[in-house]
Amino acid sequence: MNYRFCPLCGIALTPLLKSNLKLTLQTCPKCVFTHYNNPKPCVVAVIVKRKKILLTRRAYEPFKDYWDFPGGFLECDEQPEDGLHREIAEELGIEIKVIKLLGIYPDSYGSNGDSTLNLYYLCKKSNGMLISKDEIAEFNWFDIDNIPKLAFKTNLVIADLMKKYSSIFKDEERSYFRSIY
């Protein structure tokens, strides 16, 4: 959220811009109030099963009808893994086992381009039957070599997944992934 006026004294705020012309913070010239435009934390599950990745097709904007990894925004004071379990239960009706943190990636969300900081976790389904809930139009398992166009900036995630865990997707080395359960 960007303020035009100081919420403390009502004076017009002075925006400070980064080199890429994104607003980073706003300061009040009178009372020195500073508003930081911090990213919103999000959690995302990369659920893998038998050389395939579970993707969901978004039912709503932004990126309506694009494929995406399941996940969402953290709630206030929520631990990341707790938020991940909550989001996956809300979206897909299943429980997951978190294997490990895959990586942390900046992105943006919505028509205002709100900054997000996304924690991607490598996971496996542990319990329950997959169902598409409110935010999900459908879900499907995709081969790593045949992933459709994805929402958001997920190319780095796919690249890191292949670099760090390529053995998951090779027939002769699937025992590696079973061993980390």
Query: How many whole angstroms separate alpha carbon 151 and alpha carbon 68?
Result: 5
178: nearest Cα among 50, 83, 59: 50
Pick the catalytic residue from 61, 95, 138, 173: 138
Residue 59 token pair: 């039912």
Told to judge if 138 belongs to the known catalytic residues of this protein, a careful annotator would answer yes
- Looking at the annotation, which residues are catalytic? 138
